[in-house]
Chains A and B, each alone.
Chain A
Amino acid sequence: AQTVTQSQPEMSVQEAETVTLSCTYDTSESDYYLFWYKQPPSRQMILVIRQEAYKQQNATENRFSVNFQKAAKSFSLKISDSQLGDAAMYFCAYRRLGGGSNYKLTFGKGTLLTVNP
């Protein structure tokens, strides 16, 4: 079974600085998808960024980028120029390729990010 580990229960960053959140996963599959979701105090789960394992290029979305190391099974999220609105719980998630039960997302336990003014 796939597992997702986020080793940092809490992180903090100064406004305008850069922070990196860590995620590792365990799988025997060669193709899969990885996601970072953000959950602010409103509890809404918001997709931040997505990475396809078959793509070597790291995904970027504005101030958010990932460092995807397939061999190491590592998928870290970098937030540049941190803003107060980035404060939230961040979840790393894994999904197998294909349909049916493979659509299940496996989540890590989350990292609570605090942004200090």
Chain B
Amino acid sequence: NAGVTQTPKFQVLKTGQSMTLQCAQDMNHNSMYWYRQDPGMGLRLIYYSASEGTTDKGEVPNGYNVSRLNKREFSLRLESAAPSQTSVYFCASSEGTGHTDTQYFGPGTRLTVL
């Protein structure tokens, strides 16, 4: 039981390049999330998927797109990377039902855009 996994762990991009961050969970969770963490700040929600087949914008969605490929996988795409997108990206998942819907996080991807 690996929980939430993310690939890659590190990535360096040049401005304008594109890339996709991959996330998978093996806990049979319905909901999945993408957050970014910038220095001196807590995590901020980029996009989330309440259930398979649905996605919604979070607090900071500009410059990103997401795909809920199936129940296990939720990818985050940067179409044209900008230096402002340099950050640590976390994927999380939760059951998505009931009151106590605790989110469990992956190990993060450190992205640098030059």
Contacts and interface: CB of A to CB of B under 8 A. Distances in A.
Interface string A40-82: 0011111100101000000000000000000000000000000
Contacts of B58: 104
Contacts, number: 66
A67 to B, nearest CB: 20
A105 B104 contact: no
Question: Which size bracket describes the interface of B in this complex?
Answer: 20 to 34
Interface residues of A, number: 27
B62 to A, nearest CB: 17
Nearest to B42: A107
B99 A52 contact: yes
A31 to B, nearest CB: 9
A46 to B, nearest CB: 8
Interface of A: 4, 33, 35, 37, 42-47, 50, 52, 91, 93, 95, 97, 99-101, 103-110
Given A45-B90, A47-B102, A104-B59, 11 more contacts: A33-B100, A42-B107, A43-B107, A44-B108, A46-B105, A50-B100, A103-B33, A103-B50, A103-B101, A104-B48, A105-B35
19 contacts: A35-B102, A45-B90, A45-B105, A45-B108, A46-B105, A47-B103, A91-B43, A99-B50, A99-B96, A101-B48, A103-B31, A103-B33, A104-B58, A105-B35, A105-B43, A107-B42, A107-B43, A107-B44, A109-B40
Interface of B: 31, 33, 35, 40-45, 48, 50, 56, 58-59, 88, 90, 92, 94, 96-97, 99-105, 107-108, 110
